[in-house]
Amino acid sequence: MEKTLSIIKPDAVKKNVVGKILSRFEDAGLRIAGTKMLSLSAEQAGEFYAIHKERPFFKDLVAFMTSGPVVVSVLEGNDAVALNRKLMGATNPKEAAPGTIRADFAESIDANAVHGSDSAENAAIEIKFFFPELSKCGCSCSH
Ligand code: CMP
């Protein structure tokens, strides 16, 4: 069993496709272990995406992620990190495989509908960021 973090971004929330996206996770065998809708402050978005701080798109990314509510979820299942990334499709929706979430619901590399952890290690960090109550221990393991 593995856990990963999903964010349904402001563009997808505005499009009213939260339920459709969550159903894709469930239909693929992932369990929603926690979920909530919230609005990120610029400080929170900047901290969450700190790894991209030096990238030219960082400012736009923070502005976009604070432009409306998001839905953050913990997804649980076999190979959850890789399975979620397969369901999402490529970061740029123009390159996303047909039938993936980004191919079906995203408009651009900025407004790309969803975020998903890229490794089990980062999943543990990202889950703790949004769901400290679900972290069984204080370390950054994948509990
Ligand atoms: P996400 O998986 O949330 O991680 C960082 C986000 O930055 C990414 O999805 C994109 O929405 C956004 N982004 C914008 N431009 C780029 C880029 N050139 N490369 C990667 N991510 C980008």
Say if residue 4 is exposed, middle or buried (CB neighbours under 10 Å; 0-12, 13-18, 19+). Answer: buried
As a whole number of angstroms, the distance between CA 6 and CA 46 comes to 17
pLDDT at residue number 135? 75
pLDDT at residue number 134? 87
3-state secondary structure of 32: strand
pTM summary value: 0.95
Q: Ligand 1: residues whose CB is within 6 Å?
A: 52, 57, 61, 91, 109-110, 112, 115
pLDDT mean over 121-127: 97
Q: Counting atoms of ligand 1 from 1, which one is nearest the CA of 52?
A: 5
Q: Apex CA 77: angle with CA 76 and CA 82, to 5°?
A: 95
Using 50, 70 and 90 to split pLDDT, how confident is the model at 37? very high
pLDDT at 142 over 90: no
pLDDT at 120 over 50: yes
Q: Counting atoms of ligand 1 from 1, which one is nearest the CA of 88?
A: 2
